[in-house]
Amino acid sequence: MPELDQETPEVLYSVADHVATITLNRPDRMNTISRVMLDSLADYLVAARDDADVRVVVLTGTGRAFCAGLEVTRVSNKGSRGVMDPNAGPRTTIDLRKIPPIILNELDKPTICALNGSAAGYGFDIAMGCDIRIMSDKAKLSAAFTKRGIVPESGGTWLLPRMLGWSKAAELIFTGRTLSAAESLEMGLVSSIHPAEEIAATAETIAAEIASNAPLAVQAAKRMMRAGQNEPFPQHVHHVYLQLNALMRTDDVKEGMQSFVEKRPPVFKGK
């Protein structure tokens, strides 16, 4: 777990009913990501990954924005070094174990991004890295990387062509366009839009529905969906059968079948 200033933690973490909620908590800065926040976000994603009680992860923010991007100043007003430092020398290595988008991409547990407000830059990429996105009707998505002289640095160039197809992804990235909630929904970047005051409750409802299912099966399904993007169909079917064979030996399968016969809700234990 990261060590944070408990008076003003920049990232909040809680677990309840098998759901881990990670909340970006720098509303006065529109949740721009400081170095402390970046490290904390990575640590909390790992904590959720390693906690057997966690079945779903919800990522959201406080205030009027989800995340306006990475800190671009050299030193923040709290004295901590910003993440994007134009005066810093070139970096030749990156510790991939501490990069939130990579941890997020490799996470078997389902992730929900509850876009309480607008997302830009890094916030846009991290939202796209989640499995399910729901969005406030007042929020916007901004892929304005090229307008700042940079590229989507945290997965956008990998994610968007797969999500939208080449032409739509190219148009969005090359123009640096900002999308309204309705446009985001129309393009398929989010699953649904809701009044801002309903975002948290909607995410909670979706997370609870997922968490009620057999966690090992849900995680296996996510692994197979991810693998299916990059392997031929016959190889994918073979891998699915390997997953199925392992699942058939679990207690959760027995519970799933028994609860169906007894016409009652199943109680899964992830074993």
Question: Can you spell out the DSSP letters for 70-109?
Answer: B--SSB-TTSPBPS--TTSPPP----GGG-HHHHHHH--S
Among 153-162, 175-184, 248-257, the least confident range:
153-162
- 96 pLDDT band (50/70/90 cuts)? low
Closest CA to 173 of 186, 191, 161, 188: 161
Residue 95 has pLDDT above 70, yes or no: no
Task: State the average pLDDT over residues 52-72.
Answer: 94
pLDDT value of residue 130: 97
Q: What is the mean pLDDT of the chain?
A: 88
pLDDT value of residue 219: 95
Asked if residue 47 lies in contact with residue 15, where contact means CB atoms within 8 angstroms, the answer is no
Residue range 144-153, pLDDT digits in tens: 888 778 777 7
CATH 3.20.20.70 correct for 11-211: no
Residue range 200-216, pLDDT digits in tens: 999 999 999 999 999 99
- Compute the distance between CA of residue 34 and CA of residue 130 in angstroms, rounded to an integer: 20
Residue with the bigger pLDDT between 147 and 90: it is: 147
**H helix or E strand, kind and range, residue 187:** helix 181-187
The SS3 assignment for 129 reads coil
Residue range 213-228, pLDDT digits in tens: 999 999 999 999 998 8
Task: State the average pLDDT over residues 35-57.
Answer: 95
Asked if residue 266 lies in contact with residue 214, where contact means CB atoms within 8 angstroms, the answer is yes
pLDDT value of residue 79: 45
Question: Considering just the CA atoms, what is the radius of gyration of the chain in Å?
Answer: 19
- Residue in the block written with tokens 């904590």: 47
Closest CA to 70 of 23, 36, 112: 36
Could you state, in order of their start, the residue ranges of all structural domains in the chain? 11-211, 215-262
- 32 pLDDT band (50/70/90 cuts)? very high
Residue 4 has pLDDT above 50, yes or no: no
Give percent of the chain with pLDDT exceeding 70: 88
Residue 76 has pLDDT above 60, yes or no: no
